[in-house]
Structure 1
Amino acid sequence: MLCARDTVKLLRNYPSLALWVGGNEQVPPDDINTALKNDLKLHPLFESHSENALSIEEEDPSQYLDGTRVYIQGSMWDGFANGKGDFTDGPYEIQNPEDFFKDNFYNYGFNPEVGSVGMPVAATIRATMPPKGWQIPLFKKLTNGYTEEVPNPIWEYHKYIPYSKPGKVHDRIELYGIPKDLDDFCLKAQLVNYVQYRALLEGWTSRMWSKYTGVLIWKTQNPWSGLRGQFYDYLLDQTAGFYGCRCAAEPIHVQLNLATYFIEVVNTTSEELSNVAVEASVWDLEGACPSYDVFDKLSLPPKKVMSIGELNHPKSENPKPVYFLLLKLYNMSNNSIISRNFYWLYLPGGDYKLLEPYRNKRIPLQITSKTSHKDSSYEIEMNVQNKSEKPDPKILTYKNKFANRREDGEFDMASLEPIHDKTEEKQKAGLFQRLYRQFPRETDGSKITEIKGSDVGVAFFLKFSVHALKTDNKGGEDTRILPVHYSDNYFSLVPGEEMSIKMSFEVPQGVTPRVTLEGWNYQCEVHTVI
């Protein structure tokens, strides 16, 4: 009890603390449970607002540690899961993303634990495991049409969660094509991580207060180099699942219900949002925009989920088998973007294998970087623009420029402009003009990097990372600087769209950092020396 009371005193002033729980998957013994219930309540002096409240005889205030929060005796009791202590939490494995939205997915209002896969990037595997652990799983075809992943013994020891569940979930990595090596496997795993955790949280918020009251994700990280569900790995590098979850966790969020294909807007705030619109644009693998809809003059009630309208593309004539969907919720008074959500989708019964040849697309990018640092602390802003030609700039309501995310996690809506009727000049480059050029802009000290390309389309699944610049780099050496805090990562840009990514990090003394950009259709790393 001394330990428990000391813990309460240590943590009770944190505003993010929601409640106290006596035991994880258990209830404390009766004597401890009774003492905790007594300690975690208000001092009698504050229980009444009457004039006689101040006349109550003073008692030892240390006996009443925190009466401002609910005390739950155990993590699966008193309203959590089925409320009776049975193991009705989870699941902790791969799911079909659309299942999170279905009524039969989870039967109770508050899920105290639910999780999924959590494979890190290939660099982390190589940095934390011997070469025998670099072998990717064998994809064993079963007679029922499903695939069983057979991981190597080291992955098995590190609690690897497969990306398939034979009999229920077809292998989510195999949907993109059988991986060739560790790098290919881990990249496809990040695609699945992003989709999986975004769908997990969007499925819950889709039923906010109508079916679900809350959910806790297990877990954010592994205390060792585990291969279970995680948002950042043992070396503090965020997985794509982190950014998928954070996208879905916006206070005001536009999303696609993957079970009904209706567009929804979630407003978790206490204020009504009026005079807003949703823009839904579908982009194909050729860079065209075959479907475009605007739902305008909307009012979003507080603490509610509003169904806006159905996505037309899957039911349209000759729909694309694999396509991208960009949803934007914006304020009609000034065209500022409130929420942005980017999906890659396939028709029912299909797969993502057409994305494999899409890797050969060369989409021109322009990256403008601005750096400030003091001693070993760096802050960098990278503005990335998809310079490929828009299919028809007249149809877009506003300029495809996404608002910056501030340090507090909110978005800075300033300086967003309506689009002008202007077609950008298409950059022409040959097959071997894939290199970039970099030069300083004399006016403000920023640097511009251009990635040449002659194709039009989506710059898909871009990822920044920071590395130590080394001239004597040994083959396979992990040069990443970790941790790095990004305003966003694993992002995609449609033609004409631009986005600013902010990053901050510390570097060891004497180390020069460089920023690297990779992507699905950018196998060659682009380096910017700071």
Structure 2
Amino acid sequence: MMQFNRCTAFLGLIILWCLTIAQAFGQTHKTERVVALSGPSKQRYELNSGWLCKNVKEVSRSGAELSRADFSVKNWMPATVPGTILTTLVNNSKIPDPFYGMNNTKIPDVYHTGNDHYTYWFVKDFEEKAIGNEQVWLEFRGINYKAELFLNGKKINKEKLEGMHLRHHYNITGLLAANGKNRLAVIVYPPDFPGAPNGGQGGDGTIARGLTTQYTAGWDWIQPIRDRNTGIWDKVTIEKTRMVNLKNPHIITLVPGKRLPEGPQQPAVIKVSAELENPTSKAVHGFLQYKLAGQLIRKAATLVPNQTTTVSLPDFTLQNPKLWWPNGYGKQDLYSLKLSFVSNSSELLDEEKVNVGVRQIDNIWNEHTRSMGAYVNGQKVFIKGGNWIISDAMLRFSDARYDAEIRYHKDMNLNLIRIWGGAITERPEFYNACDKYGLLVFQDFWFSGDCNGRWEDPMKKDDQWTRRNYPDNHNLVLTAAEDQIKMIRNHPSLAFWCGGNEITPPDDILLPLRDEILPRLDGTRKFFDFSNSDEMSFNDLGGNGDGPYGIQDPKSFWGNRTFPYNSEVGSVGVGDYVSLQRFIPEENMTAPQFKGKVDSVWNYHRYIGYDEHIDPYGKPKNARDFAMKAQLVNYDQYRALMEGYSSHMWDWYTGSIIWKTQNPWTALRGQMYDYYLDVNACLYGLRKGAAPLHVMMNPLDSMVSVVNNGFSTRRNLMVQASVYDMEGKNYFYSQAFNEVGASSVRKLFKMDQFLKKLDKKEEVFVLLRILDGQKAILSENIYWLPAKDGNYSGLQQMKNAALEVKATVISKGKIVVSLSNAPGNPVAFFNRIALINRETGKRILPAFFDDNYVSVLPGETKKITIEYTDESGLKKALEVYGWNVPEQKIEIN
């Protein structure tokens, strides 16, 4: 036995020596065997509780004193970290909820109070110490706007930190207390130029003199955020490594050729590199390595003392890769890649885990449409996008909220989200959700035409040329850009970079960013100089641009040509009555009237008029009636928007991006779900119009057509068209077998002559369906057509339909609802389903419906699936009501 052990050990040394020699020459080692590693994995945790704070005017001691463990902070206020000053004050009941009613007007604004009012000291006690060769690192992922840091009586940062969009990373090993009991003290200052909240876009514009969120001075969809997002707003993390800190890994995937989501795949190439920081006084020898698909890829490296070295591994050819696709086109497969650095003696010194989506994104100019076309894995993708501001205007982010919001975008059948330039570089948790659900991301940098000088604006303090050079510190912008690129570049969902919203950065920012920084740090994604640049979209109707905004005649989306890759096209989005009750006081629940004066609270929350589009359904009797009729308009607007763009796919358009799909506060415009994550009819109208396989009717000429967004021809499809009158009688019209080519629109037949025969009918419903060979419904679409005078008097006179509703739990967090309408009834029209807490009557949020605001035909049953987060002891019920269906509460089996 002794002889066997000696031989085995000797053979192991020979293998390790050969492997070392091979890797020293940059060879890829491919084997199932992984060298055993010693030492613990990286320890990382957040400092996200136990923080205390106090206003600077109440503190007379220095940071060195405050950061000593023996300094008493007995009477300090509990602080929310990560979070803003405003969040902490709300959580301590020092100010009212600024999102409710007119409460925001009761909160002092930093522009009027001076910066000291929102300058706060934060302290946090934590236990940590370094043992042996351990290194301890402190990271702030975001502070707004300036800060000074102290630990155990010593200052950490030599110069005051500045800039919201920037991570700060420190080796604190030498500052830790010997007994492991440490205190961190941080003073945070608001932006130097908070800007006057004078009602302009970004207030007087001077908020843009600093590198911070421009929207916080106010916009046409939000009121000013009084502290301008001041605070330790993002995660604070402690991590422990050995002698090496592996950071900013970079993974590139190359997928040549034109691929399909199904079947075997040709190989893809994986390129991996990382930064390796050696904070010690001695050189470190070892290997950077990772394992993928059962194979180990590694490279020898020598890390010189007190320096950071970038190491690139040999390219790896991944056989038959599982590819990542945008929503609606295929699966979002992800590989888990653990990148590690080990010493020559196989001691694990540090590691990072990265989820890798294997895909390639390209942009090719479409000469016919005069706009850029997006290609993923060699396939052209028709962009159906939404503009995103930020999850919460008080920066109360969470993984669960991000996941819910991005899932809603998936449920809308969208495939892209654009991050608007007046907010932030979105967080890795946002990108994780986009990776999961298949939403491509169009990431703006931090500029806007409003604040940065595109237009002459009497609301702005400075002239256009002065604003054109905002922010003041251009070097800071470039430093932040490098950092934020490194933070998010590995996410497969990140598809495009953009210099700014409707304007480029100044040239001494734009040119280094475009020509040097992005090629060096990324090199795989298209960079648009600004969001509606000629390079993205251009036509003879007026060059580049965006819009229109606001409510429109649904026919206009079909007939009026706009910009061929429209970065912002928008409409309305008021929630239902329950949504309005969450933030509008009862005394202000007054229905807006066409051409009438709007209530002060509605106006404050940026209500955008529904103009004459509500009145055809009957002048609203009250706010509840208004909200119900608004949902009809919402649904019709967004269905028509996406259908109109899709009908001209590859002819007029390569894509469109809706302004906007969500609000970071309780606004009354541009949203598919409200701030509380409750859905409205916009979401389901858009979901219908953006379906990957969809049958639709052009309201201009009644042409029925089918859209196929898939990469393969759809064959053996039966398209049916029927008409129902207000009593529920069915007038069957047509059926036809057809095939529809890949990524195309096919016109089938017009219904105008048939509809003319029904002129005697006041109004009708038009039912369109696509069926497969087994008669399963693949697509269904129901239009409600007005009378000749444009009014819906027939809808107003419809008889009630007694809808039979059953609900059954089929698994944890999943319910199936059955809606049945008896023969002889009229159409059970436009039914809203809500999942509620049976004891409180409040809605359970978020809840995800595979359809909502649904209509059930006479003699038919429709099934709806609901998914939600189930909690122990949660008693659930269902609430259902419709246009002509009385409200009912249903027990769940």
Distance 1:79-1:499 versus aligned 2 partners, 3 A rule? farther
Give the counterpart of 1:160 among 607, 610, 614: 607
- The residue number in structure 2 matching 1:346 is 786
- The residue number in structure 2 matching 1:117 is 572
Distance 1:149-1:526 versus aligned 2 partners, 3 A rule? same
- The residue number in structure 1 matching 2:833 is 464
Give the counterpart of 1:259 among 700, 718, 727: 700
Q: Partner amino acid for 2:789? A: G
In structure 1, distance between residues paired with 2:650 and 2:749: 21
Q: Partner amino acid for 2:567? A: P
Distance 1:387-1:370 versus aligned 2 partners, 3 A rule? farther
In structure 2, distance between residues paired with 1:111 and 1:293: 35
The within-5 A match list for 1:26-425 is 26-39=503-516, 63-67=520-524, 69-82=525-538, 88-102=545-559, 105-139=560-594, 148-164=595-611, 171-296=612-737, 298-311=738-751, 312-331=753-772, 333-358=773-798, 360-373=799-812, 378-389=813-824
Distance 1:347-1:11 versus aligned 2 partners, 3 A rule? farther
- The residue number in structure 2 matching 1:47 is none
Tell me by how many angstroms 1:122 deviates: 0.8
- The residue number in structure 2 matching 1:484 is 847
Distance 1:205-1:180 versus aligned 2 partners, 3 A rule? same
The within-5 A match list for 1:437-476 is 456-470=825-839
Deviations 1:425-477 (A, max 9, x none): xxxxxxxxxxxxxxxxxxxxxxxxxxxxxxx121111111111122xx5xxxx
- The residue number in structure 1 matching 2:248 is none
Q: Partner amino acid for 1:95? A: Q
In structure 1, distance between residues paired with 2:703 and 2:850: 28
Distance 1:304-1:221 versus aligned 2 partners, 3 A rule? same
In structure 2, distance between residues paired with 1:200 and 1:9: 36
- Share of identical aligned residues, percent? 36
Tell me by how many angstroms 1:387 deviates: 2.8
In structure 2, distance between residues paired with 1:366 and 1:511: 21
In structure 2, distance between residues paired with 1:278 and 1:509: 46
Unaligned runs of 5+ in 2: 1-477
- The residue number in structure 2 matching 1:449 is none
Distance 1:353-1:5 versus aligned 2 partners, 3 A rule? farther
Higher relative contact order (CA closer than 8 Å, sequence separation 6+): 1
Q: Partner amino acid for 1:224? A: W
Contact between 2:486 and 2:521, CA under 8 Å: does it hold in 1? no
In structure 1, distance between residues paired with 2:889 and 2:795: 21
- So what's the TM-score if we normalise by structure 2? 0.45
- The residue number in structure 2 matching 1:2 is 479
Aligned residue for 1:150, secondary structure, equals coil
In structure 1, distance between residues paired with 2:716 and 2:827: 30
Tell me by how many angstroms 1:95 deviates: 0.6
Tell me by how many angstroms 1:9 deviates: 3.4
In structure 2, distance between residues paired with 1:279 and 1:507: 39
Tell me by how many angstroms 1:86 deviates: 7.4
Distance 1:369-1:223 versus aligned 2 partners, 3 A rule? same
Tell me by how many angstroms 1:163 deviates: 0.9
Distance 1:307-1:505 versus aligned 2 partners, 3 A rule? same
Q: Partner amino acid for 2:801? A: R
Aligned length in residues: 414
- So what's the TM-score if we normalise by structure 1? 0.74
For the aligned residue pairs, the C-alpha RMSD in angstroms reads 2.2
Contact between 1:149 and 1:162, CA under 8 Å: does it hold in 2? no
Q: Partner amino acid for 2:659? A: W
Aligned residue for 1:123, secondary structure, equals helix
Question: Greater Rg, structure 1 or structure 2?
Answer: 2
Aligned residue for 2:546, secondary structure, equals coil
In structure 2, distance between residues paired with 1:320 and 1:369: 39
Distance 1:527-1:279 versus aligned 2 partners, 3 A rule? same
Tell me by how many angstroms 1:107 deviates: 3.7
Distance 1:275-1:508 versus aligned 2 partners, 3 A rule? closer
Deviations 1:38-62 (A, max 9, x none): 35766xxxxxxxxxxxxxxxxxxxx
In structure 2, distance between residues paired with 1:135 and 1:263: 40
In structure 2, distance between residues paired with 1:252 and 1:90: 26
Aligned residue for 1:287, secondary structure, equals coil
Contact between 2:722 and 2:766, CA under 8 Å: does it hold in 1? yes
More displaced stretch, 515-524 vs 253-262: 515-524
More displaced stretch, 75-84 vs 154-163: 75-84
Unaligned runs of 5+ in 1: 43-62, 140-147, 165-170, 390-455
Distance 1:310-1:319 versus aligned 2 partners, 3 A rule? farther
